[in-house]
Amino acid sequence: MKLPIFLDNHSTTPMDPRVLEAMLPYFVEKFGNAASRNHVFGWEAEEAVEQARKLIAKLINADAKEIVFTSGATESDNLALKGVLEMYREKGTHIITSSTEHRAVLDTAKSLEAKGLATVTYLPVDKYGMVNPDDVRNAITDKTILISIMLANNEIGTINPVHEIGKIAKAKGVLFHCDATQGVGKIPVDVQAMGIDLMSFSAHKIYGPKGVGALYVRKKNPRVRLVPQMDGGGHERGMRSGTLPVPLIVGFGKACELCGSEMATEAPRIAAMRDRLQSAIMSTLEETYLNGHPTERLPGNLNISFAYVEGESLLMGMKDIALSSGSACTSATLEPSYVLRALGVGTELAHSSIRFGLGRFNTDEEIDYAIKKVIEVVTRLREMSPLYEMAKEGIDLKSVQWAAH
Amino acid sequence: MAYSDKVVDHFNNPRNMGSFNKDEEGVGTGMVGAPECGDVMKLQIKVQNDRIVDAKFKTFGCGSAIASSSLATEWLKGKTLEEAERIKNTDIVQELNLPPVKIHCSVLAEDAIKAALADYQKKAGSKTGTGSTGTGSVQ
């Protein structure tokens, strides 16, 4: 086993060597511009792009023509929200989203709001981080043009009832955008069955290269139109100009193909490792709390709060394991995770949270190591924690008058 | 973020981690911070003849907070109360090479020292009834 161990597969994933192999010819030998219509270099590049487009579309049960390449999911989210709003603003300017969306959606919505271009409803989530479809239905007004709800959350892995939300959107004639960045490639995604009109996802979360993503844009029933946010040569059916990054797209295609063929065996294997990690930690250490849905959760996700221990110190104690924390100390904002706060997790437990993200290349041996290390470090840091000491003495920490600073 | 070697050393080998009985004679206890802010420091001193003969800490917080309090106990031992008063957060920042985003950890450590000294003075004062032990005012 090699250290450090990578257990942060929600942030990004290592590229699959098979993806790299597929990409390599498209750097030096087959370097053509896919938009060059008059020579073999261009044709070769275009053919590779169209082949990748088909593979990507197949994974989500879409038509290849419905895939618009972007630089990643953040750009896809921006294009979906801004592009729809600009196109349909005469019909209405109301957007419905949820409080636990990725910041690429939330901050885009807030920016539209701040410019006076949209009014936005931010739906609450339940204690597991799930959006209630009834809340979506009740929030729809005659001015609503877009619902943007994520498929699976990046911190807690909770999977939203997207099928139901899609049905509601269709029944009410409102467009449905889904940020599926964490879900595509990990769980089955079917834009037809789910009633999704626009969907963001990216390659680097599914063992593909960084720097490429896609926006699925429905072509019929209804035909979705967008105002491009990038003007230029009119690539991607005019929705996103810019020369296509052929090697990245080829890699994206290969990554989708692999996810499609391996998901049925890979997802249960990863979930079994995750379940073992979860039960070993939570049965050994007292006062640990699972954040996220107990069952409706991504196979590789595990988010736990360890009471009385601060998250960044936990990460520091486990420096040979790559993880992330909802602690303020690990973010630039000095606020603990807004996702955990939206679930009603107390600020102190949000500071104490660790996110484990398991992926394709993790092994049982690595999980054994992580279990041992987590138990060891949490135990050591609790010995060092005045809060743990007080709790052991029977002091109710909530009754203490803290000298906040 | 990369930690300085000194922070890592204090984190891995904390000095004087533990607790004194806060009711014991000569013990001053300072507890600062709040759980919802992500850091709480408890710093204790044991005083004999106006000199700190021992110090202990327990900290809930990031690595820099743990290192700041560990360093503080190291510095406190052997100092007179007056000398202890003069420990400044900037000394801690310098010694541990703390980045700007971690300066509040050193401030918290200084506050914890001041709080422990004040608690000791208060206890000593209430015992003798003289109000102050004559080692200089606390804040």
Query: How crowded is the C-beta side of B22, counted as CA atoms within 13 Å?
Result: 14
Indicate if A284 and A181 belong to the same structural domain: no
Chain B contact probe: residue of A385, A392, A396, A400 with most B CBs at under 10 A: A385
Chain B CB contacts of A351 under 8 Å are 35-36, 38
Find the CATH number of the domain harbouring B47: 3.90.1010.10
pLDDT digits over A337-357, tens only? 999 999 999 999 999 999 999
> How near does any CA of chain B get to the CA of A346, in Å?
8
Q: Residue B116's closest CA among B11, B20, B37?
A: B20
Residues A77 and A31 in one domain: yes
How many angstroms separate the CA atoms of A383 and B137, rounded?
Answer: 34
Let me know whether A98 and A244 are in one domain. yes
C-beta contacts of A53-57 below 8 A and 24+ residues apart: A53/A249, A53/A253, A54/A253, A55/A253, A55/A254, A55/A256, A55/A257, A55/A260, A56/A214, A56/A252, A56/A253, A56/A256
Q: Give chain B's domain count.
A: 1
Is B11 at the interface with chain A, CB within 8 A?
yes
Q: What is the pLDDT of residue B133?
A: 42
A249 and A365 part of one domain = no
For A275-306, the pLDDT digits (tens) are 999 999 999 999 999 999 999 999 999 999 99
B62 among known catalytic residues: no
Among A220, A241, A258, which residue terminates a domain? A258
Whether A259 is catalytic is no
A233 and A336 housed in the same domain: no
Which of B17, B34, B115 shows the shortest C-beta gap to A404? B34
B70 touches chain A (CB under 8 A): no
Residue A297: which domain range? 5-9+263-394
The pTM of this model reads: 0.93
Residue at B137 is within a domain: no
- Nearest residue of chain B to residue A347 (CA atoms): B36
> Is there a single domain that holds both residue A232 and residue A273?
no
pLDDT tens across A355-368, in order? 999 999 999 999 99
Domain shared by A199 and A348, yes or no: no
> Which listed residue (B45, B84, B105, B116) is catalytic?
B105
Residue A404 included in any domain: no
**Cα separation of A197 and A184, whole Å?**
15
Q: Is residue A210 part of a domain?
A: yes
pLDDT at B129 over 60: no
Within a domain: residue B139? no
Domain final residue, candidates A258, A274, A300 = A258
Range of the domain at B19: 5-124
Query: Are A169 and A303 members of one domain?
Result: no
- Same domain? For A251 and A267 the reply is no
Which DSSP category does A237 fall into? Answer: G
Residue A95, domain CATH: 3.40.640.10
Chosen for mutation from B60, B103, B107, B113 (greatest number of chain A CBs closer than 10 Å) is B60
- Contact yes or no for A336 and B58 at CB 8 A: no
- CA-to-CA distance for B103 and A328, rounded, in angstroms? 15
Closest approach of chain A CAs to the CA of B4, in angstroms?
A: 12
Q: What is the ipTM of this complex?
A: 0.89
How many separate domains does chain A show? 2
Residue where one domain finishes, among candidates A213, A243, A258: A258
pLDDT above 90: residue A138: yes
- Tell me, what's the pLDDT at A401? 85
3-class DSSP assignment, residue A369: helix
**Residue A60 and residue A35 in one domain:** yes
Do A44 and A180 sit in the same domain of this protein? Answer: yes
